[in-house]
Copies of this chain bind each other. A is one copy, B any other.
Amino acid sequence: MNNKEKLRKAGLRPTKQRMIIADILLGGINRHFTAENLQNEINSSGKSMSIATIYNCLKKFRNCGLIKQVESSKDTAIFDTNINQHHHFLNEDTGELIDIENDAVNLRKLPEIPQGYLNNGVEVLIKIKKQI
């Protein structure tokens, strides 16, 4: 399925701007990035896009499940093209995130989900720092 079809299937009009972002984000190597990272990459390729549009698109993409947003205590939102359930190393010295594939982690025991609620995904974060 090409990117235009992916957008259509997600209920999003394939505008010029969304196609530019889809071409960068979808179907390539997985990555973690900020809105500003993405704008810089668009600029480097000789194109340009309003930062408002970038935020609009990322929010739409996220709400459609085309990308995810990472839980992070940094003050800038971090997005993730890896939409499979997976886990992360967090380098606490640098803030860098590294993917951990889902099957590299195995949970022997989990608490009961509160009454009336559904498990909507489990994420493991392994904080690491450089050895001294």
Interface residues of A, Cβ cutoff 8 Å to B: 69-73, 75, 77-78, 89-92, 98, 100, 104-111, 113-114, 116-131
Main secondary structure of the interface of A (DSSP, over half): strand
Selected from B72, B104, B122, the residue in CB contact (under 8 A) with A71 is: B72
For residue A89, which residues in chain B have a CB less than 8 angstroms away from its CB? 111, 113-114, 117
Question: What number of copies of this chain does the assembly contain?
Answer: 2
Taking a contact as CB atoms under 8 Å apart, the answer to whether A127 and B120 are in contact is: yes
User: Is A107 a contact of B105 with CB atoms below 8 Å?
Assistant: yes
Question: B104 near A116 (CB under 8 angstroms)?
Answer: no
Taking CB atoms, residues of chain B closer than 8 Å to A113 are 89, 126, 128
Pick the residue among B70, B78, B119, B129 that contacts A126 (CB under 8 A). B119
Residues of B within 8 A of A104 (CB): 109-111
The answer to whether A131 touches B118 (Cβ under 8 A) is yes
Q: Given A108-B108, A126-B110, is A77 in contact with B73 using a C-beta cutoff of 8 Å? A: yes
Residue of B nearest to A126 (CB): B122
B residues near A70, Cβ cutoff 8 Å? 73
Residues of B within 8 A of A78 (CB): 73
Asked whether, in the complex, the Cβ of B128 is within 8 Å of the Cβ of A120, the reply is yes
